Amino acid sequence: MIRQRVDRGALFGPTGGRRWGWSFFCGKGGAALLCAALFGCATPSPPPAPASKAPGIVLRPVTHRASDLGAPRGVPITVAPQEASPPPKGGGAVPENPAPSSGAPAASGAPARQGHILQPGDVILLEVFREPELSGRFKLTPDGAIQHQLLGVVPLRGMTPDEAEALLRQRLAEKYLVNPRVILKLESTTATQILLIGEVKTPGILSVPYGERITLLEAIARAGGFTPKASPNRVTVVRTANGKQETLRVRVSDVLAGRPGHRDIPLEPNDVVTVPEVWF
Query: pLDDT digit string (tens) for 33-63?
Result: 555 555 555 455 555 555 554 454 444 554 4
- What average pLDDT does the structure give for the chain? 74
Shared domain for 197 and 262, answered yes or no, is: yes
Among 154, 172, 188, give the residue marking a domain's end: 188
In total, how many domains does the chain have? 3
The predicted pLDDT at position 179 comes to: 95
The conformation of residue 233, written as its DSSP 8-state character, comes to: G
pLDDT band at 118 (very low <50, low <70, confident <90, very high): confident
The predicted-structure confidence for 136-145, as pLDDT tens digits, reads as follows: 999 999 888 9
pLDDT at 134 over 90: yes
Shared domain for 178 and 211, answered yes or no, is: no
Give a yes or no: residue 50 inside a domain: no
**Alpha-carbon gap, residue 113 to 101, rounded angstroms:** 24
Query: Domain holding 127: CATH number?
Result: 3.30.1950.10
User: Which H or E element spans position 30?
Assistant: helix 28-39
Give a yes or no: residue 65 inside a domain: no
Among 171, 188, 205, give the residue marking a domain's end: 188
Shared domain for 203 and 169, answered yes or no, is: no
For range 264-278, the mean pLDDT:
93
The predicted-structure confidence for 199-246, as pLDDT tens digits, reads as follows: 999 999 888 876 788 999 999 999 999 999 999 999 999 998 777 899
For range 6-25, the mean pLDDT:
49
Shared domain for 204 and 254, answered yes or no, is: yes
**Alpha-carbon gap, residue 245 to 86, rounded angstroms:** 55
The predicted pLDDT at position 3 comes to: 47
Shared domain for 214 and 256, answered yes or no, is: yes
Give a yes or no: residue 253 inside a domain: yes
The predicted pLDDT at position 62 comes to: 46
Give a yes or no: residue 250 inside a domain: yes
Q: Is residue 141 classed as helix, strand or coil in its secondary structure? A: coil
Shared domain for 172 and 147, answered yes or no, is: yes
Give a yes or no: residue 13 inside a domain: yes
Shared domain for 160 and 228, answered yes or no, is: no
Give a yes or no: residue 68 inside a domain: no
**Alpha-carbon gap, residue 134 to 149, rounded angstroms:** 7
Shared domain for 258 and 245, answered yes or no, is: yes
Residues whose CB is less than 8 angstroms from the CB of residue 276 and which lie 6 or more positions away in sequence, other chains included: 198, 199, 230, 231, 234, 235, 236
Give a yes or no: residue 75 inside a domain: no
The predicted pLDDT at position 240 comes to: 85
Among 188, 208, 227, give the residue marking a domain's end: 188
Query: Domain holding 217: CATH number?
Result: 3.10.560.10
Shared domain for 199 and 159, answered yes or no, is: no
Percent residues over pLDDT 90 in the chain = 42
Domain that holds residue 149: 123-188
Shared domain for 201 and 245, answered yes or no, is: yes
Shared domain for 269 and 223, answered yes or no, is: yes
Q: Is residue 20 classed as helix, strand or coil in its secondary structure? A: helix
Give a yes or no: residue 44 inside a domain: no
**Alpha-carbon gap, residue 188 to 177, rounded angstroms:** 28
